[in-house]
Structure 1
Amino acid sequence: MNHRKGYFILSLLCLTLFMGLKSSAQNIQIKGQVVEENSKQPLAFATVAIVDQATKKAITGSITDDEGHFDLDTSASSFYVEVSYMGFISKTIKTFDIQNNTADLGVILLAEDAEQLNEVVVQAEVSRNEFKLDKRVFNIGKDISNTGVSALEVLSNVPSVSVNIEGAISLRGSQGVQVLINGKPSILTEDSGSLGSITADMIEKIEVITNPSAKYEAEGTSGIINIVIKKEERKGVNGSVSLNAGVPDNNSVGVSLNKRSEKFNLFTQMGLGRRSRPQDNIYINEDLDDNTTLYNTGEEYRNEKFYTITLGTDYYINDLNVITLSGNYAFEDEDQPSNNNFQQFDINEVLESEWTRQETTEASNPKWQYELQYKRDFKDHEDHDLLISATGRSFSKDQNSTFNDETIFGADRDASQKTRTDFGENTYTFKIDYTKPFSEKWSIETGAQYVMNDVSNDYEVQDLINGNYETNVGLTNTFEFDQNVLGVYATGAYKNGKWGVKPGLRYEYTQVDTYLVDTDEDNSQDYSNLFPSIHTSYKVSDAISLQAGYSNRIYRPRLWDLNPFFNIRNNFNIRQGNPDLQPEFTDSYEITSIFEVGNTSLNFGLFHRYTTEVIERVQTSVDNVIITRPENIGTNSTVGIEFNTKYTPVHWLSFNVDFNYNRFVREGSYESTVFDFKGDQWNYKILAKLKLPADIDFEATSNYNSAYRTLQSDVSAIAFLDLGLRKKILKGKGVLSMSVRDLFESRYNEAVTIQDDFEAYSHRQQGRFVTFGFSYGFGKGDAMEYSGGRRR
């Protein structure tokens, strides 16, 4: 442990001690659980208010968590408690026992208000942002600009998260992110294109975990993003359907169905659609040795049809035992044409040659995922439980491409190539988690996980020679990748009114084997690591809370980081992997403060990340061919601030503001080049919501990402604007909506690389997207724009 890490952890422990001492103040703690009277199911997001006996005005309040629990405190001496939930009869509690400054209200039963349910559709307006001990939760359904879009576009609206036009996801400026679905790795998060089969209609919420506890896998140096898919549990048959159409071609249909009986909960999500993603590209490669320049302008498309279905059932053996069996199947049928024009200029900027390169690519991607889960609750405490699960994932790709080069002017560039890719990946995960509360203050979590990952990528390139296609042995090989990771963890938690602390430790053992079949080259690694974490929180008052945390993380190189064989779509800008890459390790620290001031909530945080064996994309140039390859280069130290706020000046207008700034110091060298430099970057998002007459909602989201430096390049700043409009119809059961993404077509990716022997410029842009949507809820279901959250 280095001095910096030790100093921080010592300071953090001192802070937790201070919080523990401070928590002895004589405020009264009020806690309990809110459940539905008939089904005994917890009511998430129910409102709990502490009301002054004399003035009848609320002193403070809170909402219940996913399991219906609430915990708040007050210094008032004369008060009562009101519990309410739309569609239910509110309950007032004026008599309760206070022992040791604690009032435990136990289980509070709310009955459905039949008259209200007959008149209106329940549309819970839950808080968009929620802050918990080790994560932030962002509820999705109320953001109109998410209408009809994929999970990637939804993520781009989440604070602290950025998504570039190529689908690369960043968290606080770092791309070392692990993306989960329902708390687990998924076939749909393996690449950015796969996230397109998840539409916003299916998403309940997104959890951003910048400093994960030891309970989570250590993978992901900048943190974890967890996409939670909706699964209603209301009795009877409930559901919703959505239709979306857009320009460029973006059409989809989604259906959500749920049937709940006493013993079974059956649920399904189905979706199908097609979308087109056109992209314009400009590349300029300049060789500084012979002063020749290559200009490349072109357009490429990713046209895809997608189908996805999720089926699952919960079987309630009894009140304490439930088995869940679920499966997901997704299929993508892709058509990826591209057309590029190349111009070669000499030292005097005279055109030497010109040619075109046309591509025809077709691919099919079937994906499976299945899971069996058993949960056991124990009678002694509602949070005492055992969870055992087994998950399997399978992803295949069958892709064939044809490339034709045709000379327009100058030297003969006529050529034809074919490529074939047969890809297969299978992943199996076995997991056990156990939670044991010893009292209302003390609890532990422990568990283990074993993940087996088996991948094979058979890639072949053929050149047309004398009328026949012949295999290019220099570009052809089969790459096999096997990785097994065993993890064991334990965390403890202590919570005493205002103050809580959660330390933990995780051990992981990793085995990695890579093998190039045709050339008989193999590379094996195995390593063991300990990953400590600690989180603490302190509630200074009803309006101010503090949180602090530390965790140690790892980023293991993926298949595409390691595989040296590449796609020749653009044979003058080539990307390839490096089988000798080592994993990155990051120490992550953060302190966050949360303020509630009138109609405004403020969140301010400081964070620091220190990463070793940093993986950077290094560019080299030979004869105007730019080759990009990942390498381990030195260390990176990042210090940043983060600011989030929600302000509602009037009931019909609200603002959400998210601001991030970080400054970094890079130190390292590669071959004979030293890469030591400093830089900074910042971004903001401002979401304005406006309620208009005739039950119409309007929102606008402004985004800005500053310019910043990378190891070799300077990336340009961008600003773009998204708009959304929504109109409720059919007594609220139906919703009409429209969204416009990148209104001014100003979102692009532009970078300049200047080195001693070459210069490179790139500009990639996708343009404006307009989507129209209609959603309808039936049974007790809501229109699919409903944000989820409650379960009953």
Structure 2
Amino acid sequence: MRSIHRYLAIWALLLCACPAIAQAQGIEFIGKIVTSPGNSPIEYATIRLLDASSNAPLAGTTTDANGEFSLQSPKEQVALEISFIGFESQTIKDFAVEEGKVNLGTIALTETQVTMDEVVIQGEKSQMEFKLDKRVFHVGKDLSSTGASALEVLNNVPSVNVNIEGQISLRGSQGVQILINGKPSVIASEDGNILGTLTAEMIERIEVISNPSAKYEAEGTSGIINIVLKKDERKGINGSITLNGGIPHNHSIGVSLNRRTEKFNLFSQIGVGYRELPNDREFINEDLVTGTRVESIGEEFRNEQFTNIILGTDYHINDYNVLTLSGNFAYEVESQPSETEFWMYDGNGDLLSQWNRIEETSATNPKYQYEFQYAKDFKDHKDHDLIFSALGNFFGKSLTSDFLNTTASGESFDGRQQTESAFQEAKYTFKLDYTKPFSKQFTLETGSQYVINDVSNDFAVSNFVNGEWVPDQGLTNLFEYNQRVLGVYGTGAFEGERWGLKLGLRMEHTDLNTLLTNTGEANSIQLTNLFPSAHTSFKFNERFSMQAGYSRRIYRPRLWDLNPFFNIRNNFTIRTGNPELLPEFTDSYELTGIMAWEQVSFNVGVFHRYTTEVIERVSIYEDEVTRTMPVNLGTNRATGFEFNGKYTPIKQLSFNGDFNFLFFDREGTFENQVIDFSASRYSGKLTTKLKLIKSLDIEFTTRYESEYQTVQGQISDVFVMDGGVRLKILKGKGMFNLSVRDIFASRVQESWAYQPTFTTYSRRQRGRFITLGFSYGFGKGEAMEFSAQKRR
């Protein structure tokens, strides 16, 4: 619902705004809008200025987070109309002018008795907003995301792609920083399937920041994706319950319960469920010197029982000070059965051996997060504030795997193997932000952040020899990873009526140490870097504006980029980390134009990124075994074009389109082999929404990703279509959702590596997922869609 309020406020402004009025000097109207009863500030209430005689719209604005507004009028003979969804509108015609200003004081709006169904119908216009420094995707509007995990939701966000292995890219490039509620979190790390514990029903919106300012952490060469979780702040007791069931097994129940009083806001979410994630895989390794070939085809599962609990409270000490304490606990019990058939052929194509490999893996994954935040607003200005937060994360994984090889014919590959892993990660983030407006046009921001990340991974492999388990010392070790990052930033912003400029500088010091305890192999990186940023915008008129930006970013090797251990599910095709990786740096430039009309709105942008010490995954072949690992490989110059648009020909039908084209120029060497080349890739999405009747919606999303060249080969193209149907009942409080992801089971990812001495081929497919869900809102809530005032 928050997106509904914002959309209607902007829509009202487009209807009534006039550039000539905005430029004029006249009477200034000021005031504050609150609820009645309760006296809580109303954000995004619409204020319209009307001609007193003709009622024609002259100008308009919306209230800020404190419910306050300021509006200029060119004359005195006017009326003020104040409205907000779910509240009775007010019109003010009598007022006193003193020294060119009208102070209306505090105006209270009374709640209406309109049913929730009517409220939802009014507001369902757009699932995406375009802001000055980011794009905001509102998950509640995405019908095809029912029962989906956060990774699947991200795949529906414009400019974002998630491949079949869960790797996230933005505008065709990896190196994206994922945040939860604006902060780094273990939930958003790459350790296992952690983002899978977040379902679509728990997410309020996703913010895509392609060119962040110095205020944001410099991590992420391609940009930042911020996942904002739901937290309701309406008065009284309200909440919702959601049930999902699916094929293959994807069953969950989620409950959201909130209670808001004058001083306290208590919020909670609880979700439990079970899901199966099947994955068909095929690999072919061929030695071009001897002609030997190894083929494997198999099916693997990741079956999970999961529990996720979010609890928290806001304590409003007074109108200017708020304390927040929240926590998130998640627990997974995994089983990962797999079965793979292997065939080995000699140079003449004759079968040398055929065998079967069965895996039984079980794991438990506890993880929790806790946060304390203090927010202070100063009396002198609505945007003068200080925020301090302390965030702690922990993720553990205890895993055991048993592998059994059974030879069917030819050379014997019989044998048993066992792996054990004890993984622990602790991450602490301390952050302080201060914002000081010196005038209506000029604002200063400054702050600091300190992140501590400690990881330990005890990994062991044993072989069953002569009736007993014998440790494989070459594959057994304790990996320790410790990273400290201190950041300090300052930004200054000037924002006039048409033109704005924001300059910033961030300094970060990185201290990273890794150690393989058993072998004594250590690596240390210490860096101090400056990250400048510059953003500007110019508004030509109400329908057209342009923005330009520059920032410097860093991508620090993640844990699994550095960790040398691997899963031996297929011991002829393995993936490892590289403890000697260096960070990559990117200079990013972009220029964007935004245009908006009644039925059509779109933005067109061009961007350029120059990256050094590029991290690429390469394959090394030895003794029929392909080992893939990340290495630093030279530079990358990438230039791209981006288009996002929406067309609404009629009220019941809308189209949202997204297209990205990227041309890149790679230069570098690997093992004395030059890998210079130029190539391109592109992707597109089209979402069609149709409202058949008042309570029935249909949506289809089509995605296409082109094939593209890599440093050693190429990746195939991918075509996917998702669909969803939503039916509202019980005056909007109940809602049925049916989603089908990958309708045609066409999401197949193929990759090839062509080298002078070997070739490799891999194929992966997830398959079709069907989910049926029902949600019900109680109290003042409604199903799946939340109306919340801005969290201060």
Partner of 1:15: none
* CA displacement, residues 583-634 of structure 1 (integer Å, 9 cap, x when unaligned): 0100111111111122111111111111100000011111221111111110
Letter in 2 for 1:245: G
Q: Distance in 2 between matches of 1:98 and 1:129?
A: 40
Cα 1:430/1:314, change in 2 over 3 Å:
same
1:142 paired residue number: 141
Matched, 1:164 2:143: no
Percent identity between the two aligned chains: 55
1:599 touches 1:647 (CA, 8 Å); kept in 2?
A: yes
Alignment of 1:551 onto 2:548 = no
Instruction: Report Cα offsets for 1:627-679 as digits up to 9, x if no partner.
Output: 11111110111111111111110011011111111111101111211110111
Mapping 1:194-593, distance limit 5 Å: 194-593=194-593
> How far apart are 1:105 and its partner, in Å?
7.7
1:106 to 1:648, Cα distance in 2 relative to 1, 3 A: farther
- The whole-number CA distance in structure 2 between the counterparts of 1:31 and 1:153 is 46
* Counterpart residue number, 2:23: 26
- 1:393-412 deviation per Cα after TM superposition (whole angstroms, max 9, x unaligned): 11000000001111011001
Q: Residue 152 of structure 1 corresponds to which residue in structure 2?
A: 151
Cα distance in structure 2, aligned partners of 1:246 and 1:260: 34
Letter in 2 for 1:271: G
**Deviation digits for residues 360-404 of structure 1, max 9, x if unmatched?**
000000001111111111111111111111111110000000011
Alignment: residue pair count: 770
Separation in 2, partners of 1:486, 1:285 = 45
The residue that corresponds to 2:114 in the other structure is: 116
Cα shift readout 1:337-365 (whole Å, capped 9, x = no counterpart): 11110101112212111001110000000
**Counterpart position of 1:181:** 180
Instruction: Report the Cα distance in structure 1 between the residues aligned to 2:250 and 2:397, rounded to whole angstroms.
Output: 23
CA distance in 1, matches of 2:585, 2:180: 24
CA displacement 1:542-597 (0-9 Å, x = unmatched): 11111111111000001111111222111011111111110010011111111112
| Whole-angstrom distance in 1 between the partners of 2:373 and 2:146 | 32
**3-state DSSP of counterpart to 2:132:** coil
Where do residues 676-715 of structure 1 align in structure 2 (5 Å cutoff)?
676-693=676-693, 695-715=695-715
The 8 Å contact of residues 140 and 205 in structure 1, kept in 2 or not, is answered as yes
Question: Structure 2: how far apart are the matches of 1:280 and 1:355?
Answer: 18
Give me the whole-angstrom Cα distance separating, in 2, the residues matched to 1:763 and 1:566. Answer: 19
Measure, in 1, the Cα distance between the counterparts of 2:61 and 2:672.
59
CA shift at 1:116, angstroms?
A: 2.5
Question: Which amino acid counterpart does residue 276 of structure 1 have in structure 2?
Answer: E
Q: Distance in 1 between matches of 2:363 and 2:468?
A: 24
**Conservation of the 8 A alpha-carbon contact between 2:429 and 2:452:** yes
Tell me, in whole angstroms, the C-alpha distance in 1 between the residues paired with 2:153 and 2:662.
23
- What does 1:579-618 correspond to in 2, within 5 Å? 579-618=579-618
Letter of the structure 1 residue corresponding to residue 597 of structure 2:
V
Distance in 1 (CA, whole Å) between partners of 2:76 and 2:556 is 55
2:40 is equivalent to residue 41 of structure 1: yes
Alpha-carbon distance in 2 for matches of 1:444, 1:249: 52
Contact in 2 for aligned 1:687/1:700 (Cα 8 Å): yes
Q: Any conservation in 1 of the 2:90–2:109 contact (CA below 8 Å)?
A: no
**2:748 matched to which residue of 1?**
748
List per-residue Cα deviations over 1:395-441 (Å, max 9, x = no partner): 00000000111101100100100000000000111111111111111
Note if contact 2:424-2:457 (Cα within 8 Å) is conserved in structure 1. Answer: yes
Alpha-carbon distance in 2 for matches of 1:677, 1:174: 17
Amino acid of the structure 1 residue aligned with 2:575? R
SS of the residue 1:188 aligns to: helix
User: Residue 10 of structure 2 aligns with which residue?
Assistant: none
Secondary structure class of the residue paired with 1:277: strand
Cα deviation, residue 104, structure 1: 8.7
Change (3 A) 1:54 1:697: farther
Using the TM superposition, give the Cα deviation of residue 492 of structure 1 relative to its aligned residue in structure 2, in angstroms. 1.0
Q: 2: distance between equivalents of 1:640 and 1:94?
A: 52
Residues 582 and 256 of structure 1, relative CA distance in 2, 3 Å threshold: same
Q: How far off its partner does 1:488 sit?
A: 0.5
Cα displacement (A) at 1:60: 7.2
Partner AA of 1:360 in structure 2: E
How high is the TM-score relative to the length of structure 2? 0.92
Gap change, CA 1:449 and 1:579, over 3 Å in 2: same
Give me the whole-angstrom Cα distance separating, in 2, the residues matched to 1:486 and 1:791: 27
Whole-Å Cα distance in 1 between the matches of residues 286 and 116 of structure 2? 70
AA matched with 2:35: E
User: 1:737 Cα deviation (Å)?
Assistant: 1.1
Contact 2:85 / 2:119 at 8 angstroms: preserved in 1? no
For residue 552 of structure 1, give the secondary structure of its aligned residue in structure 2: strand
Task: Tell me the amino acid that sits aligned with residue 156 of structure 1.
Answer: N
Contact 2:293–2:346 under 8 Å retained in 1: yes
Q: Name 1:14's counterpart in structure 2.
A: none
Unaligned runs of at least 5 residues, structure 2: 1-18
Give 1:623's aligned residue.
623
Preserved CA contact (<8 Å) 1:26 1:75: no
Q: Distance in 2 between matches of 1:637 and 1:631?
A: 18
For 1:195, what is the secondary structure of its paired residue? helix
| Deviation of 1:207 (Å) | 0.5
Query: Does structure 2 conserve the Cα–Cα contact (< 8 Å) formed by 1:706 and 1:718?
Result: yes
Helix, strand or coil at the partner of 1:302: strand
Q: CA deviation at 1:442?
A: 1.2
SS in 2 for 1:214: coil
Q: Shift of the alpha carbon at 1:115?
A: 3.0
SS in 1 for 2:211: coil
Shift of 1:42: 3.8
Contact map agreement 1:428 1:453 (CA 8 A) in 2 = yes
Change beyond 3 A, Cα 1:47–1:773: farther
Please state whether the residue corresponding to 2:474 is helix, strand or coil.
coil
Residue 787 (structure 1) shift: 7.2
Correspondence for 2:762: 762
- 3-state secondary structure, aligned to 2:183: coil
Q: Secondary structure at the match of 1:474?
A: helix
SS of the residue 1:567 aligns to:
coil
Contact 1:121 1:733 in 2 (8 A): no
1:727-747 CA-to-partner distances (Å, cap 9, x unmatched) read 100111000110000000001
Instruction: Write the letter of the residue equivalent to 2:199.
Output: T
Contact 2:29/2:73 (<8 A) preserved: no
Residues 744-766 of structure 1: per-residue CA shift (max 9 Å, x gap):
00012111111101111111000
Instruction: State the SS of the aligned residue for 1:643.
Output: strand
Kept after mapping to 2: 8 A contact 1:643/1:659: yes
Q: How far, CA to CA, are the matches of 1:193 and 1:710 in structure 2?
A: 26
Residues in 2 aligned to 1:98 and 1:495: alpha-carbon distance in whole angstroms: 28
CA distance in structure 2 between the aligned counterparts of 1:346 and 1:132, rounded to whole angstroms: 60
SS of corresponding position for 2:319: coil
Q: Is the partner of 2:561 in helix, strand or coil?
A: helix
Residue matched to 2:14: none
Compared with structure 1, are the counterparts of its residues 380 and 62 closer, same or farther at alpha carbon in structure 2 (3 Å cutoff)?
Answer: closer
Cα deviation, 1:692-738, whole Å, max 9, x if unaligned, reads 12621101111111111111121111111111001100111000110
Secondary structure at the residue paired with 1:478? strand
Where structure 1 has 5 or more consecutive residues not aligned to the other structure, the ranges are 1-21
Deviates more, 1:51-60 or 1:260-269: 51-60
Assess if the C-alpha contact under 8 Å between 1:257 and 1:267 holds in 2.
yes
Deviation (angstroms), 1:292: 1.3
Change (3 A) 1:196 1:119: closer
- CA distance in 1 between partners of 2:642 and 2:74 (Å): 31
- CA RMSD, 1 decimal: 2.6
